[in-house]
Amino acid sequence: MSRLIASFTLAAGLLASASVSAVEISISCSALGKEYEICKQGVDAWAQKTGNTVKIVSTPNSATERLALYQQLLAAGAGDIDVFQIDVVWTGILADHLVDLTAKGQGEIGGHLPAMAETSRVNGKLMAMPWFADAGLLYYRQDLLDKYKRPVPQTWADLTETARIIQEGERKDDKGDFWGYVWQGRAYEGLTTVALEWIASYNGGTIVDEKGEITVENPKAAEALKTAAGWVGTITPEGVLNYTEEEARGVFQAGNAAFMRNWPYAWALAQGADSTIKGKVGIAPLPKGGADGRHAGTLGGQLLAVSKYSKNAEAATDLVMYLTGEAEQKRRAVEGSFNPTIVSLYSDTDIAKANPFIGDLADVFSNAVARPATVTGQNYNKVSTEFFNAIHQVLSKRSQPEQALNRLDRDLKRIKRNGWQ
Amino acid sequence: MKMLTRIGFWLLVAAVGLFSIFPFYYAIMSSFRSGSDLFTIAYLPERLDFSNYVAVFERQPFGTNIFNSIVVAGAVVALSLALGITAAYAFGRIRFRGRSLLLMTILAVSMFPQVAVLSGMFELIRAFGLYNTLPGLILANLMLTLPFTVWVLTTFMRELPKEIEEAAFVDGATPWIVVRRVFLPLMMPAAVTTGLLAFIVSWNEFLFALTFTLTNEQRTVPPAIALMSGSTAYELPWGTIMAASVVVTLPIIAMVLVFQRKIVAGLTAGAVKG
Amino acid sequence: MSSAVASAPSPARETAQGGRSSLTRSRIRAAWIFIAPTLIVLALIAGWPLARTIWFSFTDASLNNLADYEFIGFENYVANYDGEWFGLLTDPDWWHSVWNTVWFTAVSVSIETVLGIIVALILNASFPGRGIMRAVILIPWAIPTVVSAKMWNWMLHDQFGVINDMLLRLGLIAAPITWTANPDTALWTVVMVDVWKTTPFMALLILAALQMLPGDIYEAAKVDGVHPVKVFFRVTLPLIKPALIVAVIFRALDALRVFDLIYVLTANSRDTASMSVYARQQLVDFQEVGLGSAASTLIFLIIALLIVITMAAGRVRLSGDPR
């Protein structure tokens, strides 16, 4: 089938080259697997429409390796990849190598989720277009909440209490390795997203505010960290300090945890045919810090950007606009469950039919917190590394929240010494 | 007593074997499983399901990747040994000024972290026009294997008795002939061993292979495995990755089984009377 | 060349006389011809990247714009701006990573050496199934690190990892161990996986050394009725020492540059970072080519120093001659 499409594309390309000058665009849009298939269908449709050809360059699955590869290529000014799929926090890091899309995208960007649009901008210029969105969610076991007659927790205090009750009850029922709450605690970017959710939910800010002021040392942030550190060893296994998304999903999906923090991807897998918890799972926004707190999920997702070294920037930009356009985002949402970034698609009936919980996600996305990537620009990774290491110290009880935040504040000020950019 | 020694010996063999092979066994077993199985423990496979193996070859040109790895590793070993043995003869058997300094310089090449030379190497490879080609990778990997090969072979070369080449020289042989006729056979165990180790280093090399190639058709095995993903970027396609690892480890095992005789074949007591 | 050989005095006397015979001269010429290809290849592929790294360590280059940078002297190493100290040498994280690396290298290479000798001695003995055993012990070294590190990560999972399960079943531990999550056990865990992975490298090199020993010395020892353990320490070990030390040096070189194992098992945690993890973080994650190059240059200097010390301690003869 794909060969057939490919030969069609080729034929179309040959035909078109006779009339207009067709070009070849290469795009890095995925690792291999299902994501590749969905991406391939999208670019093939564009190729057929425009008569150009598109080559997909597969890049590593791991985000760190992918970023390193991009940086190597871009630093050498290599034009081998025209369109890059980038993470929401990479825009500032890669901006110097990207084409300004403001002229083409300004009209479109208004329809996208504001938080996603914000991550695409650097110094007011649109350097990328939002492609799909992600945000942290609370997964819970409906059957266990029913069994212990507890509601879905609205605050972290509720969650702590409910998790403790369920954990004690289940352990008495001979499930010795049952835990209340699992999440991602490894010293990596994921911990930054998770800890930012805690702090933001207590109204403790987003590490660095929009004006570039370092705000992380505040009593609310300390309170949030104190709560989280209290979980480790009680309702959360100590091993969580080295969990990424898949390790957490493993514990939850094996039926050994009552709650889990994870991205939307875990939904389809937890409800999959071979899942032990199929039909027993629910999702909700992450709890609030307190009665006056807020529901905060950290924003994730991917953008598309055009390389400055592309020899066919015009066509590449056109491809980006096509892939991030409404029709393609809808197709991806229906066929691949990729969450659209265009607000109007959340009330689309076809998507709602394919993904029944998409309506719930609309709220989560519009309330999502963005990591301070835009404001810290090229220093974002440094800020994030200092942050997750400080959090890791607190979680492993090697440092008190206040003391860790104080040191973090000092370290961030050192990084900011000459301003963020 | 003798019985006890023998039992002890076999226990040791069993312990070493088990420690070495258990993770690989676990990989084989995982390669027959999929989905939620990843999160449960089993010691025996529940079923023989080869779908992961099929997926490995269907979703990407994995056969080509293996072929690339063989070409790259093979060429790296051939070049390393050819350059290494001649250099080792000079370093190990001939006294000349600057010898120690040169040996240290060669060793110094292995003292920089790989990531530090990555971008310089990247520029170099692009300058040579070897980007996204196998020769580019071969060249880059030589940097990892050559110092090691030269040093190990020099050490072994030096350990051979002094009298070995003298007779040949008196007979009027050139140094080149001495290396080929006299030393090559004697160095067989060392050469096969270093060759084997160099092959595996090159076979497993990831960072250069990822950075210096772009298309799936030019990639070697380790980056090809790193490219595998589940239905989303977060999901780990464990069964497929394990199947791929099993597939790429088999050629190495086969090679060891073929070459292991050579590790011991070379030198016998009588050959070195001098 | 052959006529020169024919008329030359025997090489045994040549050094004693101190004269430079035509044979010596022709052999030295041959030596340079033999070494030249290796040197050219290394200069070609390593010269530029290494020189470039050292040069960048004195600049403020950034990965964002490699063409535009300034020479800043030693500021990447140590600098004082407005009364505050900056630079690598004043960064506690850097020194912590140095300590981690040195500790890791010392512990893992020692264990690997001892185990390597034991395994090599086993493989050197003749027993049925020896060939298969040789292949079996090489398996850990043969699995790509990208995969085996992840595999261990999974096997060491505190909740559904097979290692904890096995130890629990055998009654060796009472509760699951958080291998990689706890900073106190994480480095030991890394050592364990490294030992698993690289002992075959040691064992194989030592085995080659054992195989190159002349067999008659054992015969003599056997006739004299010397205890095998004594034979090992008095005869075998001194004879394989040069090869053993080269194996140790190259293992140490690799261990001192350890990256992927630590990175996969514990990510960017400060508690377990090695020098290479630190350098990579500066170079790639933070795009500080200048600072990362400075770290790489320091790694180079530290490794060079340690290797020279090792060689001095092991009395390695760089300019040794054939026996």
The reply to whether B7 falls in a domain is: yes
Q: Provide the number of CB pairs (under 8 Å) joining chain A to chain B.
A: 95
A377 and A268 fall within a common domain? yes
pLDDT at residue number A272: 84
pLDDT at residue number B6: 87
B4 and B73 fall within a common domain? no
pLDDT at residue number B269: 33
> DSSP letters along C111-140, please?
HHHHHHHHHHHHHHS--TTHHHHHHHHHHH
Do the chains contact at A33 and B229, CB–CB below 8 Å? Answer: yes
Do the chains contact at A35 and B119, CB–CB below 8 Å? Answer: no
B158 and B66 fall within a common domain? yes
pLDDT at residue number B273: 31
Task: Select the residue of C84, C159, C268 nearest A385 (Cβ to Cβ).
Answer: C268
Domain around B201:
62-227
Domain around A330:
2-134+302-358
Nearest to B109 by CA among A102, C304, A137, A309: C304
B48 and B35 fall within a common domain? yes
Residues of chain A with Cβ-Cβ distance to B237 below 8 Å are 33
The CATH code of the domain that includes B188 is 1.10.3720.10
B68 and B2 fall within a common domain? no
3-class SS of residue A237:
coil
The reply to whether A365 falls in a domain is: no
Cβ neighbour number for residue B7 with a 10 Å cutoff: 10
3-class SS of residue A133:
strand
Residues 6+ apart with CB under 8 A from C308: none
As a whole number of angstroms, the distance between CA C117 and CA C272 comes to 28
Query: Which C-chain residues 111-130 have CB contacts (< 8 A) with chain B?
Result: 118-119, 122, 125, 127
Residues of chain B with Cβ-Cβ distance to C122 below 8 Å are 9, 12-13, 16
Query: Which A-chain residues 128-147 have CB contacts (< 8 A) with chain C?
Result: none
Residue B77 to residues A352, B81, B84, B133: CA-CA distances in angstroms?
57, 6, 10, 18
A396 touches chain C (CB under 8 A): yes
pLDDT at residue number A395: 95
The residue of chain A with its CA nearest to that of B40 is A254
A127 and A142 fall within a common domain? no
As a whole number of angstroms, the distance between CA C250 and CA A353 comes to 60
CB distance A298 to A137 below 8 Å: no
The helix (H) or strand (E) run that includes residue B79 is helix B62-93
Name the pairing type of β-strands A299-306 and A129-135: antiparallel
Residues of chain C with Cβ-Cβ distance to B147 below 8 Å are 42
Flag whether pLDDT at C16 surpasses 50: no
Residues of chain C with Cβ-Cβ distance to A66 below 8 Å are none
Residues of chain B with Cβ-Cβ distance to C309 below 8 Å are none
pLDDT at residue number B264: 60
3-class SS of residue C253:
helix
CB distance C307 to C129 below 8 Å: no
Flag whether pLDDT at C296 surpasses 80: yes
Nearest-Cα distance to chain B for A249, in Å, is 9
B34 and B115 fall within a common domain? no
B8 and B92 fall within a common domain? no
A275 and A342 fall within a common domain? no
CB distance C144 to B206 below 8 Å: yes
Residues of chain A with Cβ-Cβ distance to B34 below 8 Å are 274
Nearest-Cα distance to chain B for A178, in Å, is 14
Residues of chain A with Cβ-Cβ distance to C269 below 8 Å are 186-187, 389, 392
Burial of A408 (0-12, 13-18, 19+ CB in 10 A): buried
Q: Residue A222: phi, psi to the nearest 5?
A: -65, -40
The reply to whether B271 falls in a domain is: no
B82 and B207 fall within a common domain? yes
Do the chains contact at B17 and C136, CB–CB below 8 Å? Answer: yes
Do the chains contact at C284 and A67, CB–CB below 8 Å? Answer: yes
What letter would DSSP give residue B109? G
Do the chains contact at A378 and C183, CB–CB below 8 Å? Answer: no
| Residue A284, both tokens | 């909700």
The reply to whether B267 falls in a domain is: no
Query: Band of the pLDDT at A18, cuts 50, 70, 90?
Result: very low
The reply to whether A325 falls in a domain is: yes
A250 and A333 fall within a common domain? no
The reply to whether B12 falls in a domain is: yes
Do the chains contact at A276 and B132, CB–CB below 8 Å? Answer: no
Residues of chain C with Cβ-Cβ distance to A93 below 8 Å are 287
The reply to whether A63 falls in a domain is: yes
Flag whether pLDDT at C262 surpasses 60: yes
CB distance A94 to A122 below 8 Å: no
Do the chains contact at A246 and B234, CB–CB below 8 Å? Answer: yes
Among A343-347, A395-399, B76-80, C123-127, where is mean pLDDT lowest? C123-127
pLDDT at residue number C5: 35
The helix (H) or strand (E) run that includes residue B117 is helix B114-127
C114-141 per-position pLDDT tens digit: 999 999 999 888 888 888 888 888 889 8
Task: Select the residue of B84, B113, B174 nearest C299 (Cβ to Cβ).
Answer: B113
The reply to whether A104 falls in a domain is: yes
Q: Residue A79: phi, psi to the nearest 5?
A: -95, 25
Long-range Cβ contacts of C240-243 (<8 Å, 24+ apart): C240/C206, C240/C209, C240/C210, C240/C213, C241/C314, C242/B155, C242/B158, C242/B159, C242/C316, C242/C317, C242/C320, C243/B152, C243/B155, C243/B156, C243/B159, C243/C205, C243/C206, C243/C208, C243/C209, C243/C212
As a whole number of angstroms, the distance between CA A252 and CA C43 comes to 54
A211 and A266 fall within a common domain? yes
Do the chains contact at B210 and A245, CB–CB below 8 Å? Answer: no
Kindly list the partner chains of chain C, i.e. chains with 3 or more CB atom pairs below 8 Å. A, B
Do the chains contact at B215 and A31, CB–CB below 8 Å? Answer: no
The residue of chain A with its CA nearest to that of B37 is A274
| Residue C11, both tokens | 């090489």
The reply to whether B262 falls in a domain is: no
C309 touches chain B (CB under 8 A): no
Residue labelled with tokens 């997750």: A388
pLDDT at residue number C294: 94
pLDDT at residue number B115: 86
The reply to whether A177 falls in a domain is: yes
Tell me which CATH code domain C97-278 carries.
1.10.3720.10
B37 and B109 fall within a common domain? no
Number of domains in chain A: 2
A143 and A288 fall within a common domain? yes
Query: Band of the pLDDT at B267, cuts 50, 70, 90?
Result: very low
Average pLDDT over residues B32-51: 82
Number of domains in chain B: 2
Task: Select the residue of B83, B108, B248 nearest C38 (Cβ to Cβ).
Answer: B83
pLDDT at residue number A14: 46
Residue labelled with tokens 């299902």: A34
As a whole number of angstroms, the distance between CA A266 and CA A76 comes to 37
A8 and A86 fall within a common domain? yes
B163-191 per-position pLDDT tens digit: 877 777 777 778 888 888 888 888 888 89
Residues of chain B with Cβ-Cβ distance to C160 below 8 Å are 39-41
Nearest to A248 by CA among A183, A328, A173, A165: A183
A159 and A248 fall within a common domain? yes
B42 and B10 fall within a common domain? yes
Do the chains contact at C140 and B159, CB–CB below 8 Å? Answer: no
DSSP lists the bridge partners of residue A257 as: A179
3-class SS of residue A137:
strand
pLDDT at residue number A183: 97
Average pLDDT over residues C26-52: 90
The CATH code of the domain that includes A395 is 3.40.190.10
**How many residues belong to chain C?**
323
Nearest-Cα distance to chain B for C184, in Å, is 24
Q: What is the mean pLDDT of chain A?
A: 90
Average pLDDT over residues B72-91: 94
Query: Band of the pLDDT at A1, cuts 50, 70, 90?
Result: very low
The reply to whether A51 falls in a domain is: yes
Domain boundary among A358, A384, A401: A358
Long-range Cβ contacts of C71-74 (<8 Å, 24+ apart): C72/C290
A143 and A122 fall within a common domain? no
What letter would DSSP give residue C172? S
The reply to whether A45 falls in a domain is: yes
Average pLDDT over residues C264-290: 89
- Which among B234, B238, B241 is the top mutation candidate for probing chain A, defined by the most A β-carbons within 10 Å of its own β-carbon? B234
The reply to whether B265 falls in a domain is: no
The reply to whether B68 falls in a domain is: yes
A232 and A199 fall within a common domain? yes
B88 and B143 fall within a common domain? yes
- What stretches of chain C show up as alpha helix (H) in DSSP? 2-7, 11-17, 22-42, 48-56, 92-124, 130-142, 145-155, 162-169, 183-211, 216-224, 228-231, 237-256, 260-266, 275-280, 289-313
Better pLDDT: C106 or A354: C106
Cβ neighbour number for residue B81 with a 10 Å cutoff: 22
A224-271 per-position pLDDT tens digit: 999 999 999 999 999 999 999 989 999 999 999 999 999 988 888 888
As a whole number of angstroms, the distance between CA C323 and CA C321 comes to 6
B7 and B92 fall within a common domain? no
| Orientation of helix A219-231 relative to helix A156-172, angle to 10° | 10
The reply to whether B266 falls in a domain is: no
Average pLDDT over residues A195-220: 95
B133 and B236 fall within a common domain? no
Nearest to A67 by CA among C280, B18, B7, C90: C280
| Residue A352, both tokens | 């709602």
